[in-house]
């Protein structure tokens, strides 16, 4: 969410107050004799390399490290760990693999595992992101540990891969510490995990599956969602507005808790950004949209899609908002203050030329969330906070500008 933009930029570069430790431990292969683990030093990357886009919730920091995998049996696995991190995203500056060899980046329990060979073919291996520099970024692994393993039957001891950087995700307290926002939770926060509404509000629950968590260039956070019946996604322009940022970002579908209030999300399904089609003109207080596609579209088609309203909404219209405020597992805003109390409604359908307003609860990270009416059409694209007038860009105006690029039925 775009809150106090210039203050947020200032806040994003004060993260040096955080001093969590990290270890990069070389782990012997199971068949090799054990050896004392090494712990090469890692450092926070210079501030000039940090994620610092204005108006985006900062959810991680970039680290530099000297890491390598070789074909020697006691150097085929490394553990990249940052205690307390919410995710780890590993960068390979080089792969020197022969045919038949590959590396995996996995969670310790194996729930997530991404495979890369010398060809980096998304059709036969895993997805990945890029940043315009040599090498590539593996897809992020949820939690504080990523296990990087070389799979090889070659007897040589040559170097096979170099790891030079990684992003590590902030926990909830750190996200609050490093992001300043205007008040956008209006009175009592009435948001709940989407699964809480699976039985009581099945339509709202079903529509929310098209909404994903957007990890921008490794360290920023917004919300995004599939629009129309083809491979198209929408978020805010202030979340990203360049092809490079799209190529460097991940969309995490089905990142939501399994039980109501359980704080037990699964890893979901992660895909990378593909092609940027169009961004809005004007400032971020206007329509503020970015339209793009994803790689591996078939992996996310089953989560459904949403459609834009093509006519203006009206004041008093019932509404709801699914999204990933604060980087949390997906939540729904349906009620204003208390469950089964006053429903969220449009407070002003013509707040200004570009926006409607509402008091439905949001927070940093909700930027890009769809605002839906009782007919489950998107009436606005959420992008500004500040109770009592949280704001969303009018969807019918967005539709008028992108109609030729989507199939809105």
| Per-residue pLDDT tens digits for 148-187 | 999 999 888 789 999 999 999 999 899 888 887 667 888 8
Alpha-carbon gap, residue 214 to 327, rounded angstroms: 9
Alpha-carbon gap, residue 378 to 310, rounded angstroms: 9
Region 369-386: mean pLDDT is: 96
* Residue % of the chain over a pLDDT of 90: 74
Structure-block tokens of residue 314: 């009206």
pLDDT at 2 over 80: no
Average pLDDT over the chain, rounded to an integer: 88
Position 10 scores a pLDDT of: 36
pLDDT at 123 over 80: yes
pLDDT at 245 over 90: yes
- The strand pairing partners of 273, in sequence order, are 294
Contact 273, 218 (CB under 8 A): no
pLDDT at 354 over 90: yes
24 C-beta neighbours (distance < 10 Å), count: 22
pLDDT at 345 over 50: yes
| Per-residue pLDDT tens digits for 48-60 | 555 555 568 899 9
Position 180 scores a pLDDT of: 72
Alpha-carbon gap, residue 227 to 399, rounded angstroms: 11
Choose between 240 and 15: higher pLDDT: 240
Give the side-chain half-sphere CA count within 13 A for 143: 20
Min mean pLDDT across 4-13, 128-137, 258-267, 268-277 is at 4-13
Taking the model in full, what pTM does it have?
0.89
Position 47 scores a pLDDT of: 61
Residue 253 CB partners (closer than 8 Å, separation 6+): 209, 212, 268, 269, 270, 271, 300, 303
Alpha-carbon gap, residue 51 to 57, rounded angstroms: 10
pLDDT at 330 over 80: yes
Position 270 scores a pLDDT of: 98
Confidence band, pLDDT 50/70/90 cuts, at residue 33: very low
pLDDT at 34 over 80: no
Min mean pLDDT across 51-60, 66-75, 263-272 is at 51-60
Helix (H, G, I), strand (E, B) or coil at 357: strand
pLDDT at 4 over 60: no
pLDDT at 130 over 90: yes
Which of 298, 26, 43 lies closest to 168 in space, CA to CA? 43
Min mean pLDDT across 14-18, 61-65, 400-404 is at 14-18
């Amino acid at each position: 969410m775009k809150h106090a933009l210039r203050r947020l930029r200032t806040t994003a570069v004060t993260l040096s107050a955080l001093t969590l430790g990290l270890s990069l431990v070389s782990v012997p292969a199971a068949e090799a004799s054990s050896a004392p683990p090494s712990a090469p030093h890692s450092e926070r990357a210079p501030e000039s390399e940090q994620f610092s886009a204005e108006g985006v919730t900062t959810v991680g920091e970039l680290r530099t490290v000297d890491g390598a995998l070789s074909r020697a049996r006691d150097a085929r696995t490394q553990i990249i760990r940052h205690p307390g991190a919410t995710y780890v995203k590993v960068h390979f500056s080089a792969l020197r693999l022969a045919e038949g060899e590959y590396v995996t980046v996995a969670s310790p329990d194996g729930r997530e595992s991404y495979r890369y060979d010398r060809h980096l073919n998304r059709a036969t291996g895993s997805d990945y992101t890029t940043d315009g520099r040599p090498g590539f970024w593996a897809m992020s692994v949820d939690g504080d540990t990523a296990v990087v393993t070389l799979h090889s039957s070659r007897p040589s001891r040559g170097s096979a891969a170099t790891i030079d950087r990684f992003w590590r995700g902030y926990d909830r307290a750190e996200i609050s510490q490093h992001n300043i926002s205007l008040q956008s939770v209006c009175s009592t926060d009435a948001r709940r995990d989407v699964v809480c509404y699976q039985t009581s509000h099945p339509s709202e629950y079903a529509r929310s599956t098209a909404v994903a968590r957007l990890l921008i260039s490794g360290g920023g956070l917004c919300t995004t969602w599939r629009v129309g019946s083809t491979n198209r996604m929408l978020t805010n322009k202030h979340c990203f507005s360049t092809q490079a940022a799209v190529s460097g970002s991940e969309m995490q579908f089905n990142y939501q808790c399994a039980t109501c209030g359980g704080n037990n999300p699964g890893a979901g399904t992660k895909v990378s950004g593909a092609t940027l089609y169009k961004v809005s003109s004007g400032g971020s207080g206007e329509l503020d949209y970015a339209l793009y596609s994803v790689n591996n579209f078939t992996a996310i088609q089953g989560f459904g899609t949403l459609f834009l309203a093509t006519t203006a909404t009206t004041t008093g219209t019932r509404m709801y908002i699914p999204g990933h405020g604060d980087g949390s597992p997906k939540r729904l805003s349906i009620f204003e203050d208390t469950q089964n109390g006053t429903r969220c409604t449009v407070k002003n359908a013509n707040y200004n030329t570009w926006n409607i307003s509402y008091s439905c609860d949001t927070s940093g990270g909700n930027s890009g969330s769809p605002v839906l009416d009782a007919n489950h059409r998107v009436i606005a694209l959420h992008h500004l906070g500040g109770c009592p007038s949280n704001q969303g860009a009018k969807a019918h105006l967005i539709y008028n500008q992108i109609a030729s690029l989507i199939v809105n039925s």
